[in-house]
Amino acid sequence: MLRAMRILTGLQPSGKLHVGNYFGAIEPAVRLQEQGEAFYFIADYHAMTSSQDPAALRENVRDLAVDFLACGLDPERAVFFRQSAVPEVNELAWILSTVCPMSLLAKCHSYKDKTSQGIAPHHALFAYPVLMAADILLYDSNQVPVGKDQKQHLEVTRDLAVKLNETFGEGTVVLPEPIIREDTAVIVGLDGRKMSKSYANTLPIFGEEKPLKKLLMKIPTDSTPVEAPKPTGDSTILALYKLFASGADYQTMVADHELGGVGYGDFKKRLADAYWDFFASMRERRLEVLANPGYVERVLAEGAERARGEAAKVLDRVRHAVGLR
């Protein structure tokens, strides 16, 4: 029987979701769940490569689960689970590592970047792409939507899949296709650079109203007087407003920049209102999720069961192919 297109992606639990994560990863994933059989997981094993803090890991996993559900992940459609709830992925990672040349991993940017930042180069950081390949291949994934930063990891995954099939027989694993979000705009942070945790310039998607407004009010602006026209070229306020406002409201704000007579404080207030409205329904959904004790655990447990069922079939096929059975 022909099965639906399987779309898989993983997100690392690494702190509060910000607006860049929302438009760059969450929203595209929520849209894609309509187009196939989605497998979305919280990459908790991967998170351990950059932080070893058990309490933070637990909290981040839970936060990501709650927030992803609040943003529209539909557990009726998507299989939603924690990576570590399917420990079989480690066995596949081991099998893949037996066909993985050291040189393939040594040239990976993420490893080079992290070690150049002074992070001690432990084995898991080096082997990170092998585990990621196992994540993908364990579910016979067809499509893997990721940001540009993950492109090389997808190339490694495909290399390993081809190698495994050459070594142990065609059809041992399914060759996945990357869907690289090349066209996703880079969302700017409060200081005008790319929004990123590492720049401490993020705008959380779920925060308290007052501190959020304060955050937005601190967006740096030039000293153009209220009456004068204001530059629209690389305005952080406009770039953010465009994400949240209707086309017409955005055009009005552009016109108000060009005409003059409106101050930056006013523009920031409009930005804060548009932001607040944009996430209103998700904020409400989040409260519902939080008010329902056990809901998140139940969703993740059901997701894990479905994921394990799929993983068992694939792993059985691989074990036979390589001679472990």
Active-site positions?
Answer: 114, 194, 197
Scan residues 242-281 and list those touching ligand ADP (CB under 6 A).
Answer: none
Q: What are phi and psi of 81, to 5 degrees?
A: -155, 165
Q: List the structure tokens of 175.
A: 């060759």
- Which of 95, 187, 245, 318 is the binder for ligand ADP (CB under 6 A)? 187
- Phi-psi region for residue 15, left (φ > 0), alpha (ψ -120 to 50) or beta? left
Least spacing, CB of residue 293 vs ligand ADP, in Å: 28
Q: Is 25 in the site for ligand ADP (CB under 6 A)?
A: yes
Least spacing, CB of residue 105 vs ligand TRP, in Å: 14
Scan residues 198-227 and list those touching ligand ADP (CB under 6 A).
Answer: 198
Q: Is 144 in the site for ligand TRP (CB under 6 A)?
A: yes
Task: Residue 303: name its binding partner from ligand ADP, ligand TRP, none (Cβ under 5 to 8 Å by kind).
Answer: none
Unique residue bearing structure tokens 């959904």? 285
Cβ-Cβ contacts under 8 Å for 290 (sequence gap 6 or more): 66
C-alpha closest to that of 10 among 94, 134, 155: 134
Stretches 14-22, 105-113, 161-169, 219-227: which one binds ligand ADP (CB under 6 A)? 14-22
Task: Specify the length of the chain in residues.
Answer: 325
Transcribe 239-297 into DSSP letters.
HHHHHHS-HHHHHHHHHHHHH----HHHHHHHHHHHHHHHTHHHHHHHHHHHHSTTHHH
Q: Report the half-sphere exposure of 218 (CA within 13 A, side-chain side).
A: 12
Least spacing, CB of residue 227 vs ligand TRP, in Å: 46
Site string for ligand TRP, 94-133 (x = CB under 6 A): --------------------------------------x-
Scan residues 25-64 and list those touching ligand TRP (CB under 6 A).
Answer: 43, 46
The nearer residue to ligand TRP, 37 or 135, going by C-beta atoms, is 135
- Which of 184, 221, 224, 232 is the binder for ligand ADP (CB under 6 A)? 184
DSSP one-letter code for 43: -
Pairing of strands 79-82, 37-42: parallel
Spell out the alpha helix ranges (H) of the chain. 19-21, 27-32, 44-47, 54-70, 88-97, 102-106, 109-116, 123-137, 151-168, 209-217, 236-244, 247-259, 264-278, 280-291, 295-322
Q: Is 196 in the site for ligand ADP (CB under 6 A)?
A: yes
As a whole number of angstroms, the distance between CA 246 and CA 251 comes to 9
* Binding residues with ligand TRP: total (CB under 6 A): 12
Task: Residue 186: name its binding partner from ligand ADP, ligand TRP, none (Cβ under 5 to 8 Å by kind).
Answer: ligand ADP
As a whole number of angstroms, the distance between CA 23 and CA 262 comes to 29
Q: Is 135 in the site for ligand TRP (CB under 6 A)?
A: yes
Binding stretches for ligand TRP (CB under 6 A): 8-10, 12, 43, 46, 132, 135-136, 144, 146, 150
Binding stretches for ligand ADP (CB under 6 A): 12, 14, 20-21, 23-25, 147, 149, 184, 186-187, 194-198
